[in-house]
């Protein structure tokens, strides 16, 4: 049976469960308000109001989003946010045929926009810092494993070797608003950084409108500023990296306390498929061309921006425990929490020193 078909149906089923779960939340109940003229006004299903906080929920970028912000004017930014995310996909979605990145991958003439240039420059910088553990130019290899926009194909050592010659951020460059490739077969896939960057983009929109207290979450990648509705720092759950934990927030490993920061988590407990009794996870090592065989189950990163946090969370899954420890020693502004298995296959946790005071609660394994 076609594995792409199975993954599509599994993903569709999960989204339907998420939709059903969200609709059951009390905060999503449609509320009737009375306007100043005494006429009943129906609040849209996507919007709730708690004190001075507006909460918007919806779907974009193939996933869910939640935006909560304090605004005494009660402004509804839902349509504006949806428009921003649509523009974002028109630039960076490999699943949209006419997006800028799709045209770049097909070697069609196209002018790059600020979204593309920003994410490209960040991805290149992180690729250098992680010694290639994060590499958006590994797109040809992502594709053959079934983690791109194309159908999965039978993977052989010969096929991987033939594609590795097109992988490497030194083989593609930005000049002004144009892309320059050393070889036309070089392509890009920014899925491992896109959700984090999109959260930054929405957060910037809120700040430009004078919003000083907010939470933006897109597909689990989060940016927060200021305080929550209770006047405290935001509390963020880190999920338990167990196969079958498909509903966001349903099973947590820990809860952390953050303010004016971003947090992203990467793990292989949702995106994988099983074929001939073997599990194939979505985290691919760009150097080997094969799924990363490290012992990390999930990596959570706190950083100043979500684009960086998202990319590093993926890189740490590839790098493994020891190299991640060395990285955090070299870059003290990066905080990390790893859940991994030791040599006895027991679940363990590692937390960088600069993150230890953030924990509100750690669940027992």
**What pLDDT, on the 0 to 100 scale, is given for residue 281?**
55
Query: Which residues contact residue 170 at a Cβ distance below 8 angstroms, ignoring those fewer than 6 apart?
Result: 182
**Are 198 and 88 within 8 A, CB to CB?**
yes
- 122 token code pair: 């960040």
Query: Which residues contact residue 241 at a Cβ distance below 8 angstroms, ignoring those fewer than 6 apart?
Result: 253, 267, 268, 269, 297, 298, 339
d(CA 187, CA 106): 8
**What pLDDT, on the 0 to 100 scale, is given for residue 319?**
95
**What pLDDT, on the 0 to 100 scale, is given for residue 19?**
45
3-state SS string over the chain?
Answer: CCHHHHHHHHHHHHHHHHHHHHHHCHHHCCCEEECCCCCEEECCCCEEEECCEEEEEEEECCEEEEEEEECCCCCCCHHHHHHHHHHHHHHHCCCCCCCHHHHHHCCCCCCCCHHHHHHHHHHHHHHHHCCCCCCHHHHHHHHHCCCCCCCCCCCCHHHHHHHHCCCCHHHEEEECCEEEECCCCCCCCCHHHHHHHHHHHHHHHHHHCCCCCEEEEECCEEEEECCCCCCCCEEEEEECCCCCCCCCCCCEEEEEEECCEEEEEEECCCCEEEECCEEEECCECCCCCCECCCCEEEEEEEECCHHHHHHHHHHHHHHCHHHHHHHHHHCCCCEEEEEEECCCCCEEEEECHHHHHHEEEECCC
Rg of the chain on CA atoms, in Å: 21
**What pLDDT, on the 0 to 100 scale, is given for residue 40?**
44
On the 0-12 / 13-18 / 19+ scale of CB atoms within 10 A, 59 is: middle
CA-to-CA dists, residue 129 to 115, 150, 174, angstroms? 21, 29, 19
d(CA 356, CA 363): 15
**What pTM was computed for the model?**
0.83
d(CA 310, CA 136): 13
- 230 token code pair: 């209770």
**What pLDDT, on the 0 to 100 scale, is given for residue 248?**
52
CA-to-CA dists, residue 70 to 31, 50, 215, angstroms? 19, 9, 10
User: Could you list the mean pLDDT of each consecutive 10-residue stretch along the chain, which spans 365 residues?
Assistant: 40 45 37 35 78 93 95 94 98 96 98 98 97 95 78 84 94 97 96 96 98 96 96 92 56 90 83 51 82 85 98 95 94 94 88 93 61
**What pLDDT, on the 0 to 100 scale, is given for residue 221?**
96
**What pLDDT, on the 0 to 100 scale, is given for residue 13?**
46
């Amino acid at each position: 049976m076609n594995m792409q078909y199975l993954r599509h149906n599994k993903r569709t089923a999960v989204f339907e469960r998420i939709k059903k779960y969200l609709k059951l939340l009390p905060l999503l109940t449609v509320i009737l308000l009375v306007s100043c003229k005494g006429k009943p006004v129906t609040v849209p299903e996507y919007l709730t109001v708690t004190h001075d906080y507006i909460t918007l929920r919806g779907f974009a970028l193939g996933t869910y989003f939640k935006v909560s912000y304090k605004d005494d004017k009660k402004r509804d930014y839902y349509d504006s946010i949806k428009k921003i995310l649509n523009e974002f996909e028109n630039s960076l979605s490999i699943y949209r045929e006419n997006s800028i990145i799709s045209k770049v991958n097909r070697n069609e003439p196209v002018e790059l926009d600020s979204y593309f240039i920003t994410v490209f420059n960040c991805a290149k910088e992180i690729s250098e810092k992680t010694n290639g553990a994060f590499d958006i130019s590994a797109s040809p290899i992502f594709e053959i494993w079934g983690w791109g926009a194309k159908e999965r194909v039978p993977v052989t050592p010969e096929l991987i070797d033939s594609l590795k010659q097109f992988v490497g951020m030194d083989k593609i460059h930005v000049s002004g608003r144009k892309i320059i490739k050393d070889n036309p077969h070089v392509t890009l896939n920014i899925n491992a950084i896109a959700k984090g960057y999109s959260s930054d983009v929405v957060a910037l929109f809120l700040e430009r409108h004078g919003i000083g207290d907010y939470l933006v979450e897109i597909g689990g990648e989060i940016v927060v500023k200021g305080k929550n509705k209770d006047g405290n720092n935001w509390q963020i759950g880190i999920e338990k990296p167990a196969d079958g934990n498909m509903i966001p927030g349903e099973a947590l490993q820990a809860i952390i306390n953050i303010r004016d920061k971003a947090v992203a988590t990467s793990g292989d407990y949702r995106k994988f498929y099983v074929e001939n009794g073997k599990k194939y996870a979505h985290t691919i090592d760009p150097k080997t061309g094969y799924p990363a065989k490290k012992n990390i189950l999930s990596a959570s990163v706190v950083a100043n921006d979500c684009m960086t946090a998202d990319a590093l969370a993926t890189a740490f899954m590839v790098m493994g425990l020891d190299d991640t420890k060395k990285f955090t020693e070299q870059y003290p502004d990066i905080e990390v929490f790893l859940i991994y298995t030791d040599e006895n296959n027991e679940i363990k946790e590692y937390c960088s020193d600069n993150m230890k005071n953030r924990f509100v609660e750690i669940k027992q394994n």
